[in-house]
Amino acid sequence: MQQSNRYKIAVYAISKNEARFAKRWMHTMREADVVIVADTGSTDDTVSLLREAGAEVHRIQVTPWRFDNARNESLRLVPDDIDICVCTDLDEVWEEGWRSRLERNWREGTTRMLYAFTHGQPGQDTVYTWFWKEKIHTRHGYRWVRPVHEVLEYIGKGEERSIRSDQLRLYHDPDPNKSRSQYLPLLEQSVREFPEDDRNMHYLGREYMYHGRWDECIATLQQHLAMPQARWADERSASMRFISRAYKASEQWQEATRWLYRAIAEAPYLREPYTEMAQLAYHTRNWPAVYHMVEEALRISTRPDTYMQEDFCWDATLYDLGALACYELGLLHKACEFAREATERSPDDSRLSHNYALIQSRLP
């Protein structure tokens, strides 16, 4: 671990069966003065690998399981004389030099720092959204709350003082096969404990969607939309899109369409509702609507830095849909433009390449 002339910095985390990430994580966290891990029951080599790399690992039990209790236990293990705490997960990776950038940007009196967060790995081009995370904080004055999708709550004296820096960049590169089955009961518990938390109500409705529980998805997200504190238009639009997906799954096309129009009206500056409307129109073979929605989506050229963004709105999807619609409408030159852009954005997709060649062969 490296020593700092200005601040004592600790990284803390929880772990369970993270052997595949342990060495990589320790390599990127090594800039801290101390790395502390609360292991919640690993049966693989996580603990030994972390200790070999220099981490201080404690085995803990959290029963019944809650993420907030586990994180509070890990925070409790951080020495009292630490100035700055950095909470990360083992499938996350900092850019090299993160500590020096943290120290340059930290100001006396700061209690929390927001930093840039995305998916992927450092040094690789990312097509994913960057958004703000806020898990760097002072040693005292904070606690974790919520059974899942846990958040840091300020409980210190005086006013909380937050700063942000996009010079600190953290990447999330998770295990795609890791189960999220525990999320649903924890979200249900969270909503019971905090019924006025509109964000968790949205998360619960989204989780019902992931599990294909369509009726509960619709009812929960409608409840989210009815909450007076649910004012963030991006999130409200997402709830409306997810309701539409639930109706689409049961082939209730009219209701699905109605909710997407509401999603567009709620956040007309986002690509997502237009893109999903284009996809819905594709399923009903409404080619003029597909073309129109593709054009409307592409008018939005700036990708906002919120977690509500969907990657399929910024890859080849819109151009693929535009090519298909224009081909069916007899607009072959425009179809060719769309198809060319789609292949450039996804050069390994053989279907897109085949479509592009086919459209080219039909040009007059």
131: confidence class by pLDDT, cuts 50, 70, 90: confident
Has residue 248 got a pLDDT over 60? yes
The span from the first CA to the last CA of the chain, in angstroms, equals 67
Q: 67 with 147: CB under 8 angstroms?
A: yes
- pLDDT averaged over every residue in the chain: 95
Domain boundaries, the chain: 9-172, 183-314
| pLDDT at site 123 | 67
| pLDDT at site 6 | 87
| pLDDT at site 127 | 56
Residue 145: what residue type? V
| pLDDT at site 5 | 55
Give the whole-angstrom CA distance, residue 43 versus residue 60: 13
CATH numeric code, 9-172: 3.90.550.10
Of the candidates 251, 239, 322, the one whose C-alpha atom is nearest the C-alpha of residue 288 is 322
Residue 204: what residue type? L
Burial status of residue 236 (CB atoms within 10 A of its CB: 0-12, 13-18, 19 or more): buried
Residue 165: what residue type? S
C-alpha torsion angle, residues 310, 311, 317, 318 (rounded to 10): 60
| pLDDT at site 4 | 44
Q: 107 with 85: CB under 8 angstroms?
A: no
Chain-centroid distance of CA 83 in Å reads 28
Residue 27: what residue type? H
pTM for the complete prediction? 0.88
- Phi-psi label, residue 120: left if phi above 0, alpha if psi -120 to 50, beta otherwise: left
Least confident window among 10-14, 154-158, 307-311: 307-311
Proportion of the chain above pLDDT 70, given as a percent: 97
Average pLDDT of span 55-82 = 98
Architecture per CATH, 183-314: Alpha Horseshoe (1.25)
Token couple for 254: 């009219």
Equal CATH topology for 9-172 and 183-314: no
Give the whole-angstrom CA distance, residue 156 versus residue 168: 25
